[in-house]
């Protein structure tokens, strides 16, 4: 039987063709940022900073006078890139490991807080703008049983809902809430290696709302949807992205939490495929084909909600 998510989006469309694969795979643990923080910056770049600044700038308060919060700030790559343009900047993340890395690259005037974005320790209407980069997919638990995807339960994303309500509370009227997230299609075709681990990608897509759902949750929280734009150029993993041996390296894989959703078996299969393509001289053609798809769809989408 096919199940449909709360907003009428069938997130199993893609995974149905993977059912036979699913049976052979068992789950391993999802992203652990205390461990990943050491290597995170080796494979991460702040993508779409100009888009974020453009959204923030369409606010009555001048950009240079704004106080902005980065939610799920991680190692502070976005805070570092945004800092020169804004009056005050704050970041919140619940991983001490990630915040420790952030502290090494930021001056003391950036206020860093260890806490959950689902229940933020800020007074109402404190910020002129809020950003959220690549965090939404971490807020919900996904299916973790090795059973047939047809048995996975429908999901309603209560944590994303709670986070958006919190963002609305701490944002000033007229402020921008800029979300950088990966759509379900981008998950499949915006990353060359996604084709190597399709079950993990299907699982990831079940952990997070797709764009229509995201917009709906934003609207219910009170935001107006001001703009939605795919970033066709930005590459989240920076220069290391097209490393043809990348999937063989644990530190490289740590740069994207999708890899944490692979089972041991799926990871072994993916590694063997990479080794074989490299050994047989097919890797460049494969990368070229996958790059054509990425250039069409991009890796991330920026959604600007306005209070």
Ligand X SMILES: C[S@@+](CC[C@H](N)C(=O)[O-])C[C@H]1O[C@@H](n2cnc3c(N)ncnc32)[C@H](O)[C@@H]1O
> Which CB sits closer to ligand X, 12 or 200?
200
Residue 260 in contact with ligand X, rule: CB under 6 A: no
> Which CB sits closer to ligand X, 73 or 112?
73
Question: x/- site string to ligand X, residues 34 to 73, per CB under 6 A?
Answer: ----------x---------------------------xx
Q: How many binding residues for ligand X (CB under 6 A)?
A: 19
Beta strands 300-306 and 224-231, pairing class: antiparallel
Compute the distance between CA of residue 125 and CA of residue 175 in angstroms, rounded to an integer: 9
Quote the least distance from Cβ 121 to ligand X, whole Å.
11
- Compute the chain's Rg from CA coordinates: 19
Compute the distance between CA of residue 7 and CA of residue 297 in angstroms, rounded to an integer: 23
Question: x/- site string to ligand X, residues 100 to 139, per CB under 6 A?
Answer: ----------------xxx--------------xxx--xx
Question: x/- site string to ligand X, residues 1 to 40, per CB under 6 A?
Answer: --------------------------------x-------
Residue number with the shortest CB distance to ligand X? 74
> Which CB sits closer to ligand X, 25 or 79?
79
Q: Which stretch binds ligand X (CB under 6 A): 6-14, 58-66, 88-96, 243-251?
A: 88-96
Figure out which of the listed residues 42, 88, 94, 111 binds ligand X, where binding follows CB under 6 A.
94
Quote the least distance from Cβ 293 to ligand X, whole Å.
22
> Which CB sits closer to ligand X, 12 or 164?
164
Q: What are the CB-based long-range contacts (under 8 Å, 24+) for 205-208?
A: 205/11, 205/14, 205/15, 206/11, 206/12, 206/15, 206/142, 206/143, 206/149, 206/152, 206/155, 207/137, 207/140, 207/141, 207/142, 207/155, 208/136, 208/137, 208/139, 208/140, 208/157, 208/160, 208/181
> Which CB sits closer to ligand X, 3 or 116?
116
Contact 28, 262 (CB under 8 A): yes
Expressed in angstroms, the distance from the first to the final Cα of the chain is 40
Quote the least distance from Cβ 56 to ligand X, whole Å.
16
Compute the distance between CA of residue 183 and CA of residue 65 in angstroms, rounded to an integer: 32
How far is it between the farthest Cα atoms of the chain?
A: 59
Q: Show the beta-strand stretches assigned E in 96-155.
A: 111-114, 127-133
> Which CB sits closer to ligand X, 96 or 288?
96
Quote the least distance from Cβ 117 to ligand X, whole Å.
4
Q: Which two tokens stand for residue 27?
A: 């789950």
User: Using CB under 6 A, which residues numbered 133 to 192 contact ligand X?
Assistant: 133-135, 138-139
Contacts with ligand X by CB under 6 A lie at 33, 44, 72-74, 77-78, 93-95, 98, 116-118, 133-135, 138-139
């Amino acid at each position: 039987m096919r199940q449909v998510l709360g907003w009428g989006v069938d997130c199993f469309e893609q995974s149905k063709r993977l059912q036979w694969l699913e049976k052979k795979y068992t789950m391993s643990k999802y992203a652990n940022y205390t461990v990943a923080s050491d290597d995170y910056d080796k494979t991460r770049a702040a993508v779409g900073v100009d888009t974020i600044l453009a959204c923030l700038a369409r606010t009555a308060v001048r950009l240079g006078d704004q106080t902005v919060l980065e939610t799920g700030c991680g190692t502070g790559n976005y805070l570092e890139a945004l800092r020169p343009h804004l009056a005050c900047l704050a970041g919140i993340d619940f991983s001490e490991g990630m915040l420790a890395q952030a502290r090494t690259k930021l001056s003391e005037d950036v206020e860093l807080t260890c806490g959950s974005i689902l229940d933020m320790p800020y007074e109402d209407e404190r910020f002129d703008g809020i950003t959220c980069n690549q965090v939404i997919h971490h807020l919900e638990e996904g299916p973790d049983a090795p059973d047939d995807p047809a048995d996975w339960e429908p999901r309603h994303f209560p944590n994303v809902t709670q986070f958006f309500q919190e963002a609305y509370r701490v944002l000033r009227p007229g402020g921008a809430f800029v979300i950088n997230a990966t759509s379900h299609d981008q998950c499949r075709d915006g990353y060359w290696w996604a084709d190597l681990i399709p079950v993990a990608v299907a699982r990831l897509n079940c952990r997070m709302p797709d764009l229509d759902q995201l917009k709906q949750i934003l609207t219910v929280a009170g935001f107006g949807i001001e703009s939605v734009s795919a970033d066709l150029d930005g590459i989240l993993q920076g220069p290391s992205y097209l490393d043809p041996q990348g999937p063989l390296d644990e530190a490289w894989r740590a740069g994207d939490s999708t890899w944490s959703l692979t089972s041991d078996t799926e990871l072994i299969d993916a590694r063997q495929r990479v080794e074989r393509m490299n050994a047989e001289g097919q890797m460049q053609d494969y990368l070229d084909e996958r790059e054509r798809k990425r250039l069409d769809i991009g890796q991330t989408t920026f959604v600007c909600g306005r209070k």
